[in-house]
């Protein structure tokens, strides 16, 4: 069973047609674009996929298409989280995990649970899941920060194998890395901080920008992990302005703008998300063109 989450994973977007239906052809092409450029794993139904706007049948269809297009070439991680623990456990119970290597489970949002509640929630998820669990800490979206001591407590669970850290707090992240047990990994959940996180001991990333530039961002991570820090440094600063633009007017609006400009998919989003404003759109397109010219 897949246990190592080194390298670059991609938080896949869900392409939509202009009528807001799922563009399965574009989704399959996105998987090919990413996998053929050598990235290490795919994440289905993460935040970037607009999973909150997909119904149950659509979510199942998206996963089927990702698995079909991937054809077993790289591990696939499935986003499974929520703020109703009982319901989430039922969803895990009834989920078909064929072809799924792990689940990515976000800190429960809106409820604002205590740290003890987070421990109880994730231990229940890990006990129920037939595949390894990757924790996802993103307080900018959930309103609750999972503290380092909470992550370390959960890291002792045999079925919790990693944390995707998007708190933006390098001190917290270093505390986890310093004290984590062997076999538990820290993964960047913030493209802009991936290079410094790798420098202090993180082992990979689940990336948004790699939807557009899988080779460049994958090389950044591989170079840093293999001691080629100067090359990683150069790629980090080559991509940094583009990364910041992707989140300047909401995600995944930014990455869909870039992918549309690259001809990989449309830029349609489902409400309540809307497209980036015209100023950001122009800047994203210019940044894409600049990176492409430097290839």
Question: Are 49 and 65 within 8 A, CB to CB?
Answer: no
List CB contacts of 272: < 8 A, sequence separation 6 or more: none
Task: Give residue for tokens 């054809």.
Answer: 71
Residue 112 annotated as catalytic: no
Rounded alpha-carbon distances, angstroms, from residue 281 to 21, 75, 247, 260, 269: 23, 33, 12, 11, 14
**Which of these, 137, 136, 142, 132, lies nearest to 83 by C-alpha position?**
142
Residue of 93, 136, 237, 295 marked active site: 136
Q: Does residue 164 have an active-site annotation?
A: yes
Q: CB 242: neighbour CB atoms within 10 A? A: 22
Is the alpha carbon torsion for 37, 270, 146, 242 positive or negative? positive
Using an 8 Å Cβ cutoff, are 82 and 68 in contact? no
Q: Of residues 164, 180, 203, 256, which has the active-site annotation?
A: 164
Question: Known catalytic residues?
Answer: 136, 164
């Amino acid at each position: 069973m897949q246990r190592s989450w080194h390298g670059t994973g991609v938080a896949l977007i869900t392409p939509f047609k202009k009528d807001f239906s799922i563009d399965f052809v574009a989704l399959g092409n996105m998987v090919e674009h990413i996998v053929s450029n050598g990235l290490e794993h795919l994440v289905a139904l993460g935040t970037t996929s607009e999973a909150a706007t997909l119904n149950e049948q659509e979510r199942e269809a998206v996963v089927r298409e990702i698995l079909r297009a991937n054809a077993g070439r790289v591990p696939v991680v499935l986003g499974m989280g929520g703020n109703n623990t009982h319901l989430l456990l039922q969803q895990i119970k009834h989920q078909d995990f064929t072809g799924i290597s792990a689940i990515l489970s976000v800190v429960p949002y809106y409820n604002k649970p205590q740290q003890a509640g987070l421990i109880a929630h994730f231990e229940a998820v890990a006990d129920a899941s037939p595949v390894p669990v990757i924790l996802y800490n993103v307080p900018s979206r959930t309103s609750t920060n999972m503290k380092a001591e909470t992550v370390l407590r959960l890291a002792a669970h045999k079925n919790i194998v990693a944390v995707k850290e998007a708190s933006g707090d390098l001190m917290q992240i270093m505390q986890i890395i310093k004290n984590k047990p062997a076999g538990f990994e820290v993964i960047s959940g913030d493209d802009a901080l991936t290079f410094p996180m790798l420098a202090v001991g993180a082992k990979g990333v689940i990336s948004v920008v790699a939807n557009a530039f899988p080779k460049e961002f994958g090389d950044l991570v591989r170079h840093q992990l293999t001691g080629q820090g100067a090359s990683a440094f150069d790629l980090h600063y080559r991509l940094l302005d583009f990364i910041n633009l992707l989140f300047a007017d909401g995600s995944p609006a930014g990455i869909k703008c870039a992918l549309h400009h690259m001809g990989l998919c449309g830029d349609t989003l489902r409400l309540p998300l809307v497209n980036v404003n015209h100023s950001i759109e122009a800047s994203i397109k210019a940044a894409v063109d600049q990176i492409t010219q430097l290839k």
